[in-house]
């Protein structure tokens, strides 16, 4: 089961936000990442919990039939979805139908990102009740559905963060957002659900998130991807559970927990290991790149973790700091076994990386580095990295890589 939290502010959809989208770029990027990771799971179904779907007093409900909707109410009718229902969800959970005609923005905004990511499969859209009923049974029911399910909690944080905010301004409303997000970062779900100042915040995130957390059972590769509040409402995107995280997310997870002083699991697991490099870029500029040509750990995820902790302390740069994390783009390169070659005629810097060695000295360059277009230039730079003279015989090896980069 994959479980995540997505905001539902229409303005984070570029077609709606227009020029104002520049103020919430991190949120939009995080929404796209969640959607890509969810769709990439190839689940049997997506279940979305919307706090803005028409509610009954004390019962959860499900939108029936095919799910057709758009963001025409927000001047973006071209942003549309057309998704089949997942009727087994309502049947298994004993849910009645939602009495509504038009999908609400609490459903449409997350679904628009899922649609953009290529999702076209069965989808259940659930409405929350008005009263604070026991939602744990619904979460357990979602967890018990057969096959692989994606659960998305739709919700926004405080609506009172600045003068002119949708629910008016309260000077202490930010305390809810601060406590909720910090608790998510610590994997303290109980503290997130019980975050202080909830009554002041005018939030609509706790109820849907609680159901999602119960469905998830416990954090698994959980991350807060983004928090912003540019328009007086807080937007949080978070992964709560991902059984198969992409490698860039593993690197980011390890770095984030290390720099915030949170524990990192001793053994992470994953498939068999191989050579790995982790590359950090900040605002497009290299911020660190270190790796292992040959695997030093049995499992790939442990290999990535080890390399990440070295890359954030790459001696060519100052050690990475926690405040920089929001500006870092992560890339993990998996190295295929190197092959000995006779000379530069067997190289292509766009396709192959190179290893230049002489005795105990060895220099490596990954393929596809901007500005390196000539094999002779590639070898010269690798020599320089290794401290090998620019002329003279050396051993040359080439290798290919598979790159997994943060979207």
Q: What's the mean pLDDT in 307-313?
A: 97
Domains and CATH numbers, the chain: 2-244 (3.40.830.10), 248-330 (3.30.700.20), 339-405 (3.30.1490.150)
Q: What is the pLDDT of residue 266?
A: 79
Cα 395 from Cα 407, distance rounded (Å): 36
**pLDDT band of 223, cuts 50, 70, 90:** very high
User: For residue range 121-137, what is the model confidence (pLDDT) as tens digits?
Assistant: 999 999 999 987 778 99
- Among 251, 323, 55, 31, residue whose Cα is nearest residue 154: 31
Using alpha carbons, list the distances in angstroms from residue 402 to 180, 228, 334.
Answer: 37, 33, 5
Distances (CA, A) of 109 to 74, 88, 206, 337: 11, 24, 18, 44
pLDDT tens digits for range 68-112: 999 999 999 999 999 999 999 999 999 999 988 899 999 999 999
Distance CA 222, CA 240 (A): 5
Average pLDDT of the chain is: 96
How large a percentage of the chain has pLDDT more than 90? 94
pLDDT > 70 in the chain, percent: 100
pLDDT mean over 7-11 = 98
> What is the model's pLDDT at position 101?
85
């Amino acid at each position: 089961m994959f479980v995540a939290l997505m905001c539902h502010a229409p303005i984070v959809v570029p077609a709606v936000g227009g020029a104002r989208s520049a103020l919430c770029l991190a949120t939009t990027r995080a929404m796209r990442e969640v959607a890509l990771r969810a769709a990439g799971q190839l689940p049997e179904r997506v279940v979305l919990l919307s706090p803005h779907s028409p509610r009954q007093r004390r019962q959860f409900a499900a939108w029936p039939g095919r799910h057709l909707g758009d963001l025409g109410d927000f001047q973006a009718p071209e942003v549309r979805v057309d998704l089949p229902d997942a009727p087994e969800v309502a049947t298994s959970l004993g849910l009645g139908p939602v009495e509504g005609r038009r999908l609400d923005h609490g459903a449409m905004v997350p679904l628009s990102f899922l649609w953009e990511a290529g999702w076209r499969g069965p989808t259940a859209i659930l409405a929350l009740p008005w009263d604070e009923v026991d939602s744990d049974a619904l979460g357990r029911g979602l967890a018990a559905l057969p096959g692989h399910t994606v659960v998305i909690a739709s919700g926004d944080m405080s609506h009172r963060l600045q003068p002119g905010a949708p629910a008016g301004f309260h000077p202490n409303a930010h305390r809810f957002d601060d406590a909720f997000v910090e608790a998510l970062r610590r994997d303290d779900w109980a503290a997130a659900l019980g975050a202080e100042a909830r009554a002041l915040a005018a939030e609509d995130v706790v109820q849907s998130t609680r159901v999602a957390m119960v469905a998830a059972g416990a954090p698994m590769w959980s991350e807060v991807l983004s928090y912003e509040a540019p328009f007086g409402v807080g937007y949080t995107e978070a992964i709560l559970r991902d059984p198969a995280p992409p490698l860039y997310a593993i690197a980011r997870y390890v770095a984030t927990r290390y720099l915030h002083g949170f524990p990192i699991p001793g053994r992470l697991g994953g498939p068999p290991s191989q050579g790995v490099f982790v590359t950090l870029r900040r605002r497009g500029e290299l911020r660190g790149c270190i790796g292992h040509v040959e695997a030093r750990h049995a499992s790939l995820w442990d290999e990535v973790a080890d390399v990440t902790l070295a890359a954030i302390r790459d001696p060519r740069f100052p050690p990475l700091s926690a405040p920089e994390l929001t500006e870092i783009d992560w890339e993990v390169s998996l190295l295929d076994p190197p092959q000995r070659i006779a000379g530069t005629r067997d190289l292509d810097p766009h396709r192959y990386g190179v290893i230049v060695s002489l005795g105990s000295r060895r220099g490596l360059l990954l393929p596809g580095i901007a500005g390196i277009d000539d094999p002779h230039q590639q070898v010269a730079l690798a020599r320089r990295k290794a401290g090998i003279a620019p002329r003279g015989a050396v051993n040359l090896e080439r290798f290919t890589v598979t790159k997994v980069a943060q979207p």
